[in-house]
Amino acid sequence: MVGSRSGRGAGRQNARVTAIRRARPADSDTVLTLVREFNAIDGHDHDDARVGRALAPLLADDEFGQVWFINGPDDEPTGYAVLCWGYSLESGGREAVLDEIYVRDRGLGLGSAALPALLDACRAAGVLRVFLETEAPNDAARRFYARHGFQLEQSIWMTQQL
């Protein structure tokens, strides 16, 4: 378990020391519940079978990445984060994508407390650079990540469904 004290949220009444802990195969149902909540809030399509298939190898070992619980003041999961590994010549080695981060109780400083601990987990896994993406209209997310040292890149990501 990795812990961190909230920076910006430390002065808020309900902010507490939060901890992150690795999710394992036995935690699959809890992770799926949180993913379902996140997708509903963000208006994304959700398919339990598809998400479950993608989640299983991340929970089983570190080959593709890691799933972390973000624990609230009661030390129970109130959110999750997914780190997926990549590799780049430009970076000189291992990279990570912060694929998803969701905190059920926003505004309490839990995300601000969890993010440095997640970056520490990346360092421990040999990651040299972390990427993330937000949707273009999500100004609040961009401000949040900028406060935590992420920089807006001039790159444009493009995708093709296979």
Residue 124 lies in a domain: yes
pLDDT for the residue 15: 52
Residue 152 lies in a domain: no
Q: Is residue 155 part of a domain?
A: no
Tell me whether residue 161 is in a domain. Answer: no
Identify the CATH number of the domain in which residue 133 sits: 3.40.630.30
The answer to whether residue 158 sits within a structural domain is no
pTM: 0.87
CA-based torsion, 161, 82, 135, 116: positive or negative: negative
What are the residue ranges of helices labelled H in 85-160?
A: 110-124, 139-147
Residue ranges making up the domain that contains 118: 2-147
Residue 107, token pair as written in the block: 């505004």
How far is CA 111 from each of CA 12, 90, 126, 155, rounded to the nearest angstrom? 13, 29, 22, 26
In the chain, how long is the greatest CA-to-CA distance?
A: 47
List the pLDDT tens digit at each of the 162 positions of the chain: 444 433 344 444 445 556 899 999 999 999 999 999 999 998 889 999 999 999 999 999 999 999 999 998 888 999 999 999 999 999 999 999 999 999 998 888 999 999 999 999 999 999 999 999 998 899 999 999 999 999 999 888 899 999
Domain count, the chain: 1
- Residue 57: inside a domain: yes
C-beta neighbour count of 89 within 10 angstroms: 6
